[in-house]
């Protein structure tokens, strides 16, 4: 049973003492990394790579990155690490052995083209096509937020049974309904070295709630950055050091 103190939504939640029997699932942007003006502008703190490597070793390899970014971006940011990971919110999962578990459905190309046209008509809008999903950022184009939302909503409403519109931080994303971060947790928890461990999912936004639910359904822990870490990725990074230190033999 999950300790109620660690359920997302509780302001009093505190990060628990790390345990060696955990399987740790970590979101990237807004969790390990501070949000930047554009996805390419994020800064990877100097010691994050070594801390991730040490925490993974302490957990016998049962540590995965679960991000809205694609696998290529994840690997570039965390090079030279090549961790088990889920990209595009779980659309593609890289298993510990290197194999990929990937969904077939993708956002239609003409939908992506319609959003890309906004970059020409709405200065500051940034559209980020991915293999399965597409994101439209308006962080630098607040005057065009309503237009971006309208176009994204109209596109998604064409096939609402297959696709959904997600809220992100100063952005909206269209993704297949079959794709969630719960899928990533389920895929990885069925293989070594994750199988049989207690899943702990750390995330910061609405797309992480599916991962929270999947972890708790397996008797694990959900840690919302807003509540467990005061909304500050630097506190998550400090806690990650404890994972390596406390969980180590």
Tokens of 217: 């359904």
Decide if 192 contacts 96 (C-beta within 8 A).
Answer: yes
Catalytic residue among 27, 70, 205, 224: 27
Helix/strand number for the chain, H first, E second? 9, 11
Distance, in Å, from the CA atom of 61 to the CA atom of 29, rounded to the nearest integer, reads 22
27 as an active site residue: the answer is yes
Helix (H, G, I), strand (E, B) or coil at 116: helix
From the number of C-beta atoms within 10 Å of its C-beta (0-12, 13-18, 19+), residue 25 rates as buried
Scanning the structure block, which residue is given the tokens 């990937």?
A: 102
Q: How far apart are the first and last CA of the chain?
A: 26
- How many Cβ atoms sit within 10 Å of the Cβ of residue 2? 16
Catalytic residues: 27
């Amino acid at each position: 049973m999950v300790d109620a103190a660690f359920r997302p939504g509780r302001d009093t939640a505190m990060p628990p003492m790390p345990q060696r029997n955990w399987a740790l699932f970590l979101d990237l942007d807004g969790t390990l990394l501070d949000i930047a003006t554009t996805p390419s502008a994020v800064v990877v703190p100097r010691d994050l790579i070594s801390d991730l490597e040490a925490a993974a070793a302490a957990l016998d390899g049962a540590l995965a990155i679960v991000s809205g970014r694609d696998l290529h971006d994840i690997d570039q940011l965390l090079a030279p690490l090549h961790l088990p990971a889920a990209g595009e919110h779980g659309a593609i999962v890289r298993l510990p052995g290197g194999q990929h578990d990937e969904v077939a459905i993708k956002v239609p190309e003409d939908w992506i083209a319609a959003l890309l046209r906004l970059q020409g008509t709405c200065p500051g809008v940034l559209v980020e096509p991915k293999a399965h999903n597409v994101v439209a950022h308006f962080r630098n184009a607040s005057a065009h937020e309503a237009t971006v939302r309208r176009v994204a909503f109209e596109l998604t409403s064409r096939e609402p049974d297959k696709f959904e519109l997600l809220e992100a931080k100063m952005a909206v994303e269209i993704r297949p309904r079959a794709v969630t971060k719960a899928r990533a947790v389920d895929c990885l928890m069925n293989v070594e070295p994750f199988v049989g461990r207690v899943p702990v999912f750390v995330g910061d936004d609405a797309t992480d709630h599916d991962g929270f639910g999947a972890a708790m359904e397996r008797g694990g822990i959900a840690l919302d950055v807003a509540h467990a870490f005061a909304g500050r990725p630097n506190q998550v990074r400090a806690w990650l050091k404890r994972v390596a230190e406390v969980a180590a033999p």
